[in-house]
Chain A
Amino acid sequence: MSGAIAVFPAPFMPTVLSDMWITGTSDHMPRARWTAPDDPQFNGGMDTICIIDGGPPTLHGRRSPTAFGPATLSGGSTTPSPFGALPTPMFEASGCRCHETARAGRQRIIDLAATTATVTDTARTALAASRGIDWEGNAALLFRDRLTSIRAALDAHDGDAAATVRIV
């Protein structure tokens, strides 16, 4: 299959085959970032990592669509080739979903810490409005105790939220 592919000029590459080659089963290669398949190298490399003409290393004579620009029939390349560079993996790290996921998670924590500060501010205002209540009895004593203890707890909530942000 790969040899047959190698002798076909790119324009005649069946779309289905090129899709199969490019996509595999991974979601690491969003369609938006696909480029047209490179021209196949004539008489491909001796092995999978052999550099033929200084161009980028290829796998079975095929070059990754996102690697180092289009190749020529002679195997040349319009961009400088990293001599000795490791083969390009099938799924590019810069396109990995982990970046977006981590970013979203980080932002979520930052937002939560901000809204926590807003909520605790509102609570402080409510506590302040209750300070002057004229009241006797066991429940009144508990009420006044809580005015103090909750104020301290609100400060701790703000600090803890900020500490959680620092984790990310």
Chain B
Amino acid sequence: MNWQIVSHIHGGHQSSPATQEEYRAAATALDDAGAGLCAQASAWSQAALRLGSERVGAPLCPALASGSPAAAAQGHETLPYDRLIAACRSRAGELERTGNEMRGMADLLIRAHGLYSEAEAGVRRAVTELTQAGTQLLPGWATWIMGSAAVGGLAGSWLVEGRPNPAASSWVTSTFQEGYMSGVGALVAGIVPGKGVPHTDEVNKAAGKIANVTGPLKDIVQGDHLQVRQVTARTEVVRASASVEDSLENLRRLAEERLGRIDLDSGLGYATVAVQRYERADGTNAWLVTIPGTDGRGDSPFGWEQNVELMSDDPERRRRADSARMVVEAMERAGIGPDEPVAMVGHSQGGIVAAAIAADESERFDIRHIVTAGSPVANHPVPSKTWVTSIEIEDELVASLDGAENPATEQWMTVRGTVQPTPDRQGPTLNTDGSCSPGVASNVWGNSPYAGAPVADPSKTQELSHWLKYHQAAYRNASDLGGPAVTTHERHFAGIIEGELRQTLYYEGRMTNHTDQAPGEHAGFDRVGR
């Protein structure tokens, strides 16, 4: 089984409304014309069937059935049915191919320019608010329904795959995840039903309340002292980057090695971030910070509880999250000056850290652009000077935990990917009549080669789409689509780190309870207090 991601783009730089309207009309005309050609193909196909049945519709007239006009008995007639039927089928096939190509063109135009993104966002917002309201008013029923759907997904996957698959549960409930989370958040935060409609930050309010309890608990269990040290990689992990795509690949390498999914023999451990210095043509510095996600280790600043703190609506609580503290410490140790442009790229908790730092440390650092993959950051107050490229997958669950759609502004672009199964790639085949049928050139299924982008190293069965390879495929499809939003955001990101890579520094963080240790007692570690 293969998988592809079909991307839709929201926000970012858009053409003028008049241009959008013109493009929408062009897309509609292409799609309608394509549908017309496909309908005409159907008519030719039907004609072939009717000819075949009419040919034998007069059993006592052998001349008609013969299909041979030259040989028909005098006074009788027939048509060259064999040739006609073959011709009708050819016309049908050719017209259908052309019709599908035209519909494919319409699809590319619509997705590249986000022609219906506002309408889509409106529908999504309506579904989210309704689900939120339903969850607030009838939390028991809402939970029962979501739970049943999730169990249904598990049961369905059990039947198909022979084992229960959590990914199927997430897929089944994906449409309602944001609304449900929002509703639960509103209940926890004590928001009156109906008052939450003009707002989208119910989850963040709830996270703030929860973190007031879990934060101190975590400090007791894990410790409150953060130790950060610079480490060295035996091999190159995070390489030079000139684009969002390069940066995502570097992020994947850094993130997946510490999880044991790939082996780069770097010697780097968990809770390691990379800070790179680029030297620009004018001799000034620019920086790129690469931040992996949750590893869940016992002494890691990137644990599970830190997610809750990072999601809080209280900036002080967010600043106190260990992962955010660690990255800030690493940035300061690397020597990032307050006026030097910084770009950040993060996956999952790493993306939330990037959004939190952009929101809360804008006085200390000049964060120009952040890229988040699978991160619920819709309600983080990122200033407008910081461009945001968010990449989310429809059914990954994690990105929906913010309970809201991302803002769609000139500076905030979201690439939203949908996972689809695709047939296995087929090579060319030799037919019995000696002709050759070309193979399927790629694993993309659809009316054009850019109908989607294949997921690298595909899983045989459906899996949770929170792995970075899904976000990479989503961004690749968005990149292939082009369009003003993606092109502008890409240029902005690349413009920040444009220059020669001079340094790649790695910093590792550990949490400790040891309050009685003097600085340097653990070789190479510096404690970072509150």
Most B-side CB within 10 Å, residue of A104, A105, A139, A154: A139
Is B32 part of the contact surface with A, judged by Cβ < 8 Å?
yes
Q: Are A116 and B79 in contact (CB under 8 A)?
A: no
Q: Are A109 and B448 in contact (CB under 8 A)?
A: no
Q: Which of A35-43, A77-85, A93-101 contacts the other chain?
A: A93-101
Please, which residues of chain A bring their CB within 8 A of the CB of B32?
A: 122, 126
Chain A, 111-153, CB within 8 A of any chain B CB: 112, 115-116, 119-120, 122-123, 125-127, 129-130, 133-140, 142-143, 146, 150, 153
Among the listed B29, B91, B112, which residue makes an inter-chain contact with A140, where contact means beta carbons less than 8 Å apart? B112
Q: Are B95 and A116 in contact (CB under 8 A)?
A: yes
Known A102-B79, A119-B36, A157-B95; judge A139-B112 contact (CB<8 A). yes
**Alpha-carbon gap, A109 to B80, bound state (A):** 12
Q: Are A101 and B54 in contact (CB under 8 A)?
A: yes
Q: Are A160 and B91 in contact (CB under 8 A)?
A: yes
The A interface is mostly helix, strand or loop, or mixed, namely: helix
Please, which residues of chain A bring their CB within 8 A of the CB of B108?
A: 139, 142-143
Interface size on A, residues (CB 8 A): 51
Q: Are A109 and B47 in contact (CB under 8 A)?
A: yes
B interface bracket (residues with beta carbon within 8 Å of A): 35 or more
Is B437 part of the contact surface with A, judged by Cβ < 8 Å?
no
Among the listed A105, A127, A153, which residue makes an inter-chain contact with B84, where contact means beta carbons less than 8 Å apart? A105
The B interface is mostly helix, strand or loop, or mixed, namely: helix
Q: Are B88 and A146 in contact (CB under 8 A)?
A: no
Q: Are A122 and B33 in contact (CB under 8 A)?
A: yes
Residues on B lying within 8 angstroms of A by beta carbon are 15, 19, 23, 25-26, 29-30, 32-34, 36-37, 39-40, 43-44, 47, 50-51, 54, 57-58, 60-61, 63-64, 72-80, 83-84, 87-88, 90-91, 94-95, 97-98, 101-102, 104-105, 108-109, 112-113, 448-450, 479-483, 486-487
Q: Are B482 and A135 in contact (CB under 8 A)?
A: yes
Please, which residues of chain B bring their CB within 8 A of the CB of A20?
A: none
Q: Which B residue sits closest to A168, measured CB to CB?
A: B79
**Alpha-carbon gap, A122 to B30, bound state (A):** 9
Q: Are A96 and B47 in contact (CB under 8 A)?
A: no
Q: Are A94 and B105 in contact (CB under 8 A)?
A: no
Pick the 7 closest A-B CB pairs, nearest first.
A137-B482, A93-B75, A126-B29, A98-B64, A126-B33, A123-B33, A138-B480
